[in-house]
């Protein structure tokens, strides 16, 4: 005879959703911190590159490779800016200002909802994907800049 587990109570479900949301918020905070640090790094390298390159007389291959490296750094910076850009959509607090007092009371009384959890998970995934591609661009750009330096010494 098969037995089925009793359905979890509403309170237990709410506790699980709340714990998962807390974990997602922690992951989002980590993503924001990483993106901010990488944004400062890429910005500093771009400023150094722009301020240094204009006074140098480099061979054409070094200029070409350096330009591609600079473009990769610029792409990384744009991706990082997109990662830290606030997302004001979704079912959470950004929607509260558009609700009437009664709608807001009803929404808060219902507790955490699965659609909010899904929205937060999608937001975290998007931020981490942007970070991943930005890091790839940073690594490629820095590698190309290093190759341009080596070329400028050897040509």
Q: What is the pLDDT of residues 73-130, one digit of tens each?
A: 999 999 999 999 988 877 777 788 888 899 888 877 777 678 888 888 999 999 999 9
In 3D, which of 89, 96, 80 has the Cα closest to residue 129?
80
* pTM, to two decimals: 0.81
Whether residue 105 is contained in a domain is answered as no
Of the given ranges (21-30, 61-70, 112-121, 122-131), which has the lowest mean pLDDT?
A: 112-121
Count of domains in the chain?
1
8 Å CB contact between 106 and 7: no
Per-chain mean pLDDT for the chain: 88
Phi first, then psi: what are they for 66, rounded to 5°? -65, -35
Higher-confidence position of 93 and 41: 41
- Name the pLDDT band for 141 (thresholds 50, 70, 90): very high
Residue 81 lies in a domain: yes
42, part of any domain? yes
Q: For residue 129, what are the domain limits?
A: 13-87+113-154
Intra-chain end-to-end CA distance of the chain, in Å? 82
- Does a structural domain hold residue 6? no
Look at 2-6, 59-63, 93-97, 147-151 and tell me which has the smallest mean pLDDT. Answer: 2-6
Contact criterion met (CB below 8 Å) for 72 and 137 = yes
Q: Which residues contact 95 (CB under 8 A, 6 or more apart)?
A: none
Tokens 């079912």 — which residue?
91
């Amino acid at each position: 005879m098969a037995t089925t587990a009793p359905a979890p109570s509403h309170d237990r479900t709410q506790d699980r959703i709340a714990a998962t949301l807390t974990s997602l918020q922690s992951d989002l905070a980590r993503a924001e911190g990483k993106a901010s640090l990488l944004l400062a790094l890429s910005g500093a390298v771009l400023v150094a590159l722009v301020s240094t390159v204009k006074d140098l007389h480099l061979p054409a291959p070094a200029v070409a490779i350096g330009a591609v490296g600079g473009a990769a750094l610029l792409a990384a910076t744009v991706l990082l800016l997109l990662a830290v850009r606030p997302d004001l959509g979704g079912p959470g607090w950004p929607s509260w200002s558009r609700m009437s007092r009664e709608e807001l009371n009803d929404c808060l009384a219902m507790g955490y909802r699965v659609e909010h959890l899904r929205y937060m998970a999608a937001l975290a995934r998007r931020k981490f994907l942007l970070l991943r591609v930005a890091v790839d661009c940073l690594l490629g750009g820095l590698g190309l800049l290093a190759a341009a330096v080596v070329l400028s010494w050897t040509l």
